[in-house]
Structure 1
Amino acid sequence: MTIAHRIAAGGIVIREGRVLLVRYRDGKDSYLVAPGGAIEDCESLATAAEREIAEETGVKCAALWPVMIENLRASRYQMVKVWYLCDCIDGAASCMAPAKEEGIIEVGWYGDSELENETVYPEIIKTLKIAAISRLKSEIIDHGVRRARF
């Protein structure tokens, strides 16, 4: 069986020691994810990350540099997602209409202590802590293959 492949980009946006995340409901459970999604037409990965962040959260940002490559395996496809560290430019975080259509139920800024009992993707947000992520410059973390929840 041939499986489809998708390319996506996401943004890890940190402001005042807090990270921008969206919450999805998965049955009775929920989980938090940094905003992101598939690239459209011929846009660059950085542009896709910026667009997805704005569409999902209303926050305008600038993608600075890639910090992680994630390989996600879902039942219908395999996705390679490049995560960018992003600089917050403007905008209050809110759950935008397109995001609600995709199943996002909440948007917000979270500190390390608020994430302790949460499931968070990409997992480096919890394992490295927010301050360490904001200092990443030219290192790209390859997190291997992870089974996707979608």
Structure 2
Amino acid sequence: MSRITTEDDARAAIAAERERLRERFGTFEATEACVENDPAFYEHGLDLVHETGMLADAGALVRDSRDRVLLVRHPDAPELWGTPGGGYEAADDSLAATAVREVREETGVRCALTDVLAVRIKTIEHSEEPRSYPMLTAEFAAHSSDEDSGARSEQPASATDDEEILEAQWFAEPPAALHDRTQDLIG
């Protein structure tokens, strides 16, 4: 994604990334949602978009050769398990690259993406003005590509300096305490 300076640039960047996903993975459904933000929070979010280009985030539902799923717990909801993932960074060239990087940073596991599981476009609306910008979230299906380097263990090596992750673990049967989004992905 290129430098974002206006809301129209944001929409163009999201459209381009959706097309890149279609080219690589084929067709997929995208859900849409709107969120209204107060002026200060809207401007804060838009400043982040302008400064970092962060219009998107991505994660992956990673399975290993034993069909276990890799899940993580975050400090903001320590009782719930979810997929590893995070925000797009300028060094990444796509949401697919973001998902692979985030899985590696949060869990120490290398993965290969196989499909798009879910795409959501969230429109952030200004509560007092007719302004908005989109955010794109993609969740991928993936398989562990480093079966011989620790992925077979029950607990992968979480990045020790990653304060965003409390724990990463492989599950043969997913725990009951899942984020709603993760529950939807696992089915």
TM-score (norm 2): 0.55
Residue 147 of structure 2 is aligned to residue 97 of structure 1: no
Residue 150 of structure 2 is aligned to residue 119 of structure 1: no
* Letter matched to residue 159 of structure 2: M
Residue 135 of structure 2 is aligned to residue 110 of structure 1: no
Instruction: Structure 2 unaligned segments of length 5 or more: list them.
Output: 1-38, 50-54, 125-133, 151-155
Q: Distance in 2 between matches of 1:73 and 1:21?
A: 27
Within the candidate set 56, 61, 65, 1:12 is matched to: 61
Q: CA RMSD in A?
A: 2.7
Q: Distance in 2 between matches of 1:31 and 1:79?
A: 24
Q: Conserved in 2, the CA contact under 8 Å of 1:95 and 1:106?
A: yes
1:41-82 deviation line (CA, Å, top 9, x unaligned): 1511111100000000000011122111245799xxx85310
Select the structure that is richer in helix.
Answer: 2
Instruction: Structure 1 unaligned segments of length 5 or more: list them.
Output: 129-150
Residue 100 of structure 2 is aligned to residue 47 of structure 1: no
Identity of aligned residues (%): 29
* Letter matched to residue 145 of structure 2: I
Q: Conserved in 2, the CA contact under 8 Å of 1:56 and 1:98?
A: no
* Letter matched to residue 58 of structure 1: G
Higher deviation after alignment, 39-48 or 81-90 = 39-48
Select the structure that is richer in strand.
Answer: 1
Q: Distance in 1 between matches of 2:160 and 2:123?
A: 27
| Correspondence for 1:140 | none
Q: Conserved in 2, the CA contact under 8 Å of 1:56 and 1:95?
A: yes
Q: Distance in 2 between matches of 1:72 and 1:24?
A: 22
1:85-142 deviation line (CA, Å, top 9, x unaligned): 112101421111242x22x111110133x412x133422145x1xxxxxxxxxxxxxx
Residue 71 of structure 2 is aligned to residue 21 of structure 1: yes
| Correspondence for 2:140 | 84
The correspondence of residues 124-143 of structure 1 with structure 2, limited to 5 A, is 124-126=184-186, 128=187
* Letter matched to residue 13 of structure 1: V
Within the candidate set 99, 118, 141, 1:68 is matched to: 118
Q: Conserved in 1, the CA contact under 8 Å of 2:113 and 2:143?
A: yes
Q: Which has the larger radius of gyration?
A: 2
Report the secondary structure of 2:79's partner residue.
strand
Q: Conserved in 2, the CA contact under 8 Å of 1:24 and 1:105?
A: yes
